[in-house]
């Protein structure tokens, strides 16, 4: 099943809304979705009909790692700054939801909501990351694979319902470590190399084994389910060629939206409407 034009259009609308070029007052009921990621913290704002209106994307400086909030105060400070920016732009957000990697339970999951509450937000709910992404992709069957900075999350969907979730600590940081080791450079420089379009074709073969490992993880988790399609989301899924590697390794059709990084935060915001 291909990703629909309407899904990609909604993602494109959100991407354009990140610019916050106009100061506009919105009196309508607004909802925010906060994606506390390893590499970035992203907040998406939608109206009560799910239309993307605004958003902010900030480097997280690894406040979150392997599905855990390691620097609670750092995450709170970044989110507070984002909320201030959005409110100054005319978006009076009060209600928000957060997401956690699949398999995160108990206090480890609750702390994601605590970050929202710490900046004065009314926490509408918590949802796992791949499930949130599926709400944007408009799919009813398949496996959503959310490859972020620190983890790879998997949700198997059947007839519109999530029937299995899992998460493993393999993500963009592991790509950075391979590059840092090979070129003998600091990790932060390796990440800049990874996202440089002029270097990506050069380093693809070098980091292909990391993508192959991710493929192995996905295969292991979906082997007991009838899955024909894999849908890639998350920041690491933006790397050109990762979809081809995963398709080759799994033998399944792999679909990727136009901007995989923005799917999950947008889905988190949409989850507020259904709660």
pLDDT of residue 61: 67
- pTM, 2 dp: 0.90
Report residues of the chain scoring pLDDT below 50: none
pLDDT of residue 127: 92
pLDDT of residue 23: 56
pLDDT of residue 57: 94
pLDDT of residue 29: 82
pLDDT of residue 53: 93
pLDDT of residue 65: 64
pLDDT of residue 22: 59
pLDDT of residue 60: 79
Q: How far apart are CA 237 and CA 93, in angstroms?
A: 29
pLDDT of residue 169: 86
CB 232 within 8 A of CB 260: yes
Q: Domains (ranges, CATH) in the chain?
A: 5-128+261-274 (3.30.420.40), 134-256 (3.30.420.40)
Tell me the β-bridge partners of 226: none
pLDDT of residue 204: 97
pLDDT of residue 211: 97
pLDDT of residue 150: 84
Residue with the two structure tokens 């490992």: 213
- What are the pLDDT digits (tens) for 111-157? 889 999 999 999 999 998 888 999 999 999 999 999 988 889 999 99
- What are the pLDDT digits (tens) for 195-226? 999 999 999 999 999 999 999 999 999 999 99
Q: How far apart are CA 37 and CA 68, in angstroms?
A: 10
């Amino acid at each position: 099943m291909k990703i629909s034009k309407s899904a990609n259009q909604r993602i494109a609308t959100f991407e354009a809304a990140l610019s916050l070029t106009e100061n506009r007052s919105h009196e309508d009921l607004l909802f925010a979705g906060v994606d506390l990621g390893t590499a970035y913290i992203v907040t998406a704002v939608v109206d009560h009909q799910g239309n993307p209106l605004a958003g902010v994307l900030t480097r997280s400086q690894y406040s979150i790692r392997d599905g855990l909030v390691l620097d609670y105060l750092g995450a709170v400070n970044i989110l507070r700054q984002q909320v201030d920016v959005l409110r100054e732009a005319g978006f009076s957000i009060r209600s928000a939801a957060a997401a956690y990697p699949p398999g995160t339970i108990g206090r480890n999951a609750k702390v994601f909501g605590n970050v929202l509450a710490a900046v004065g937000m009314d926490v509408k709910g918590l949802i796992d990351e791949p499930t949130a992404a599926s709400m944007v992709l408009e799919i009813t069957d398949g496996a959503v694979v959310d490859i972020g900075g620190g983890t790879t999350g998997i949700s198997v969907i059947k007839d519109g319902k999530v029937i299995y979730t899992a998460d493993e600590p393999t993500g963009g940081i592991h790509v950075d470590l391979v590059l840092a080791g090979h070129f003998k450079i600091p990790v932060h420089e390796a990440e800049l190399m990874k996202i440089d379009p002029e270097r990506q074709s050069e380093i693809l073969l070098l980091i292909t084994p990391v993508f192959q490992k991710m493929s192995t993880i996905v295969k292991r988790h979906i082997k007991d389910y009838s899955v024909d399609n894999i849908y890639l989301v998350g920041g690491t899924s933006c790397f050109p060629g990762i979809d081809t590697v995963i398709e080759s390794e799994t033998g399944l059709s792999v679909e990727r939206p136009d901007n995989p990084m923005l799917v999950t935060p947008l889905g988190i915001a949409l989850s507020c409407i259904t709660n």
